[in-house]
């Protein structure tokens, strides 16, 4: 299982349409360094059913959305 797949699995289990995670939460969940690894994995996340809506560098968060 790739790190992106681990992140997608976490997001699927949360059952939330939109979820904001901090960079440190993402690192803890799947080992990815945000925002670089997240932006590099956007296509894989799309295949897993999620989109990256917003990366907020100032707040150190990423907003994800479940695709319809």
At 53 the pLDDT is: 95
Burial class (CB in 10 A: 0-12, 13-18, 19+), 11: buried
Give this prediction's pTM. 0.91
| Other C-beta atoms lying within 10 Å of the C-beta of residue 65 | 16
At 8 the pLDDT is: 95
At 24 the pLDDT is: 97
List the chain residues with pLDDT less than 70: none
């Amino acid at each position: 299982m790739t790190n992106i797949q681990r992140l997608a699995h976490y997001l699927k289990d949360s059952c939330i349409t939109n979820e904001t995670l901090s960079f440190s939460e993402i690192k803890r969940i799947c080992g990815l360094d945000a925002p670089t690894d997240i932006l590099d994995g956007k296509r894989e996340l799309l295949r897993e059913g999620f989109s990256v809506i917003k990366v907020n560098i100032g707040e150190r968060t990423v907003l994800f959305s479940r695709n319809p």
